[in-house]
Amino acid sequence: MVYKTKFNGGVLISFMRRLVKQNDRKVFLIIDSHPTHRSGRVRTWVAKNRRSLSIFYLPGYSPELNPDELLNQDVKANALGRKRARDQKELIKNIRGFLRRKQKRPEMVRNYFLEKHVRYAA
């Protein structure tokens, strides 16, 4: 999900709503200990939606355990680095296109979880 505003509980809840809506099974979400992830607003939403979503928190200061970091690295190298955007609109278009192509190729997404530090999430 690409967002233009400051990252806060509302943005995270919007993301989680989309995850739950797009899946027929329960979602198991692994997130870091960002203060927004642990906010009261987010905890309340998660508690109300516990049948469709469970959250697991990574230990503090452990980016090597976060599969998102592998995706971020891929985006920076292959979505941003290959084609320089002229403005914010083009930047968002490039990133969304890159992420949609990834989404349509689950085998590529699975490859992120082959890295030894994040195998636990597979």
Per-residue pLDDT in tens (0 to 9) along the chain, 122 residues: 788 899 999 999 999 999 999 999 999 999 998 999 999 999 999 999 999 999 999 988 888 999 889 999 999 888 887 778 889 899 889 899 999 999 999 999 999 999 999 999 88
CA distances from 84 to 16, 80, 96 (A): 30, 6, 14
| 108 and 70 in a common domain | yes
Domain count, the chain: 2
| 45 and 78 in a common domain | no
> Any idea what DSSP says for residue 79?
I
Please, where are the H alpha helices in the chain? 9-22, 40-48, 67-74, 88-103, 106-112
| 23 and 66 in a common domain | no
| 48 and 65 in a common domain | no
Domain housing 11: 1-57
- Write down the pLDDT at residue 65: 92
| 19 and 67 in a common domain | no
